[in-house]
Amino acid sequence: MEIDQNFPDESNDLSSFQKEKWLANQYLYKINGFWLLDYFVPGISRTIKHFRPLPSDVILASFPKTGTTWLKSLLFAIVNRGSLELLARNHPHELVPILEAQVYGSADIESCYNTTDSPGSRRIFSTHMAHQLLVRNLNSSECRVVYVTRNPKDTLVSMFHFVNKWKIAEKEALQIEDAVDKFCRGVFPCGPYYDHVLGYRQESLNNPKKNLFTTYEDLKADPTTQVKKMAEFLGCPFGGKDGDKEVEEVIKSCSFEILRNYEVNKSENSPTWFEVPYNSFFRKGEVGDHMNFLDDEKIALIDEITRIKFHGSGFNY
């Protein structure tokens, strides 16, 4: 799955790359097979160039809107189960920083995030970068990679709502027809969704000790089993007489209902690295919400693309 790492440098000269309008004056550029928001390209470039994971690092990888915020809180809670109260005071995105935005987002890397100064005992980072872009970094150490994915129709609908909370959407809102068209053509932030999923899916089959592939729907259906599995995968299983109680505490502390009601998560303020309110990461938190926004024709179209793209992968939606 590795592709040519001919990634533009930090100077951000994207003039030679294919581009397509995303929203208002914001563009997506197709670089090494993936559509990236110009704003994040320098940070992605620096991540590829500088990020050397420690063997103890945990990397949460995801396509946007597939459950990143939930997994951030769960992974943080699993690894730091004695410090669950930190979830009440810190937005999950501040507990688990995004490599290409918070860690390497600034040219002055040192000022951006001190990579030795993690809020927990073990470093946990997240990324929306495709495996195909990050493969050399991830394979340079024994770090653990957890990938979460989600039904493509719910992912698309979640993104549709999220984007319309961006400052830029005040000038021009994203229409659902346009969102569907772009998603189906792969012209979506970090898209194509299918290539993103299949990159990490393949890696989890090739090297299951290092890569765990999970889904939003499995977590919703049976959080206990999934949380135990993640903890075992990370080498910190829940054991002893209080093991089951601890698992339930972790799940409860990271539940949508609990997290969304903390002041930090209800805040209209934006993080320093992106102009979107903190509260926009918590919307509905349900499986199947696409049915309220996509008509039968759109659903059939996406289902057909999904069937073709995932055919032969052993994975489907």
Residues catalogued as catalytic:
128
Rounded CA separation 27/11 (Å): 17
Interface residues with ligand A3P (CB under 6 A) are 62, 64-70, 154, 158, 161, 254-256, 259, 281-285, 289
Instruction: Supply the DSSP symbol for 8.
Output: -
Shortest Å distance, C-beta 186 to ligand A3P = 18
Backbone angles phi, psi at 58, to 5 degrees: -115, 130
CB atoms within 10 A of CB 186: 19
Task: Please report, for residues 45, 52, 69, 146, the alpha-carbon distance to residue 1 in angstroms, rounded to integers and kept in the order given.
Answer: 19, 20, 27, 18
Closer by beta carbon to ligand A3P, 46 or else 128: 128
Closer by beta carbon to ligand A3P, 56 or else 255: 255
Rounded CA separation 61/149 (Å): 9
Shortest Å distance, C-beta 70 to ligand A3P = 4
Query: Cβ contacts of residue 152 below 8 Å, gap of 6+?
Result: 183, 193, 194, 302, 306, 317
Closer by beta carbon to ligand A3P, 23 or else 259: 259
Rounded CA separation 288/295 (Å): 13
Shortest Å distance, C-beta 49 to ligand A3P = 25
Rounded CA separation 83/117 (Å): 16
Shortest Å distance, C-beta 257 to ligand A3P = 8
Closer by beta carbon to ligand A3P, 218 or else 289: 289
Instruction: Supply the DSSP symbol for 101.
Output: I
Sign of the dihedral through C-alpha 217, 223, 225, 227: positive
Closer by beta carbon to ligand A3P, 8 or else 196: 196
3-state secondary structure of 18: strand
Q: Which amino acid is at 182?
A: K
Q: The tokens of 190 are what?
A: 């970090």
Shortest Å distance, C-beta 255 to ligand A3P = 6
For the chain, the C-alpha Rg in angstroms (whole number) is 19
Shortest Å distance, C-beta 22 to ligand A3P = 17
